């Protein structure tokens, strides 16, 4: 997934994942986030990635074979 802020939009956002309607730790899916400059961004203690105006790429890979509903939650600042 690629995140790029729209023109005239909020300059940053927090991106997190919810699995089966519960906030997930990034390691539950093997989630990583790389900013628009190619630098890895670590998730905060709540499992959210802070996205700056340069945007970035969120990569997810499930670690176990199971059926889960995954929701991307974005809070704009």
Domain positions in the chain are 2-76
d(CA 2, CA 36) in angstroms, rounded, equals 9
Q: Can you give the pLDDT at residue 62? A: 74
- Which residue has better confidence, 61 or 25? 61
List all residues 6 or more positions away from 77 whose beta carbon is below 8 Å from its beta carbon: 10, 11, 12, 13, 14
Beta carbons of 56 and 34 less than 8 angstroms apart: yes
- What is the per-residue pLDDT for 61? 78
| CA 48/CA 75 separation, integer angstroms | 10
pLDDT bracket for residue 10 (50, 70, 90): low
Q: What is the pTM of this model?
A: 0.69
Alpha-carbon dihedral angle through residues 42, 45, 69, 21, given to the nearest 10 degrees: -150
């Amino acid at each position: 997934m690629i995140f790029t802020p729209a023109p005239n939009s909020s300059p940053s956002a927090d991106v997190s994942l919810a699995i089966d309607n519960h906030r997930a730790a990034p390691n539950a899916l093997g989630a990583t986030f790389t900013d628009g400059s190619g630098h890895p961004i670590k998730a905060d203690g709540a499992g959210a990635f802070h996205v700056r105006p340069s945007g970035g790429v969120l990569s997810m890979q499930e670690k176990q074979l199971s059926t889960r509903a995954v929701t991307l939650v974005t809070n704009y600042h």
